[in-house]
Amino acid sequence: MIETNFRLSCTVNGEPIERLVQPARRLLDLLREDMDLTGTKPGCEAGRCGACMVLVDGQPMNACLMMAYQCEGRSVVTIEGLSGCGQRHASGSHPAESYADEPHPIQRAIVAEGGLQCGYCTPGIVISLAGLYNRTVAPSREQIEEALSGNLCRCTGYEGIIRAAMRASSHPDPTP
């Protein structure tokens, strides 16, 4: 007899959550539809465009490919959590973590370098770069390109984004 739902226990943007959810529900739907965290964007929904990228245990992952049960006990950080908005930042050692109530340094660098146009892919790109900066303080261009290899941007041609990534590592305050 089937009566109970799966009780997911994990953290989202630093806050512990426990909620009944279908175990095979996509993390993307859990975030957007159940938690109103709409900064995580649906795109290709097949793990190719990177618009839905979130940090899971500090590493960029595609929310469209992850199922709820796969998030059990893990830390999920969305763009809303990364940029402050009154919530705690993901764990990590990069100096970016100290800007609790401001946009993440990657976000400020993207604004400074014109690394966006329509903006739809931008949350995913910021997450991918934040994940890179969690692991590498001063990444090379090659490392930046590899980190962005799962993110599609049809507007910018990527150069502005790569400049922003370089700026974030070379400027203590990347604000324009």
Partner 1 sequence: MEWTGHSEHLTAAVGMTQVWRPDTTEEAWRLKRQYGTFASYVAGGTWLRTRWESGSSVLPPYLISLDKIAPLQAIQQLESEQEAVELRIGAAVTLAAIESHPLAGGAVPLLGKAVSAVAAPSVRRQATIGGNVMSRSGDLIPALLALDAVIVSYSQGQYERQPLAEWLAGDGGDCDKLTVGFELKQVGGSCWFRKIGRRETFTPSVITIACAYRADSTAGRLLDVRIAVGGAGMAPVRLYEAETAAESGASGASVYAAVRKGIPSVADDYASAAYRRMAAANVIAAELDRAASG
Q: Give the interface with partner 1 as residue ranges (CB under 8 A).
A: 2-6, 21-26, 45-50, 53, 59-62, 64-67, 69-70, 128, 146-147, 149-152
Among residues 118, 114, 129, which one has the least CA distance to residue 168? 129
Minimal distance in Å, beta carbon 2 to partner 1? 5
* CA separation for the pair 33, 79 (Å, rounded): 15
Residue position matching structure tokens 């909620």: 19
**Judged by CB, which is closer to partner 1: 66, or 106?**
66
* CA separation for the pair 73, 57 (Å, rounded): 10
**Judged by CB, which is closer to partner 1: 59, or 140?**
59
Minimal distance in Å, beta carbon 86 to partner 1? 27
**Judged by CB, which is closer to partner 1: 131, or 174?**
131
Element (H, E) at 61: strand 59-62
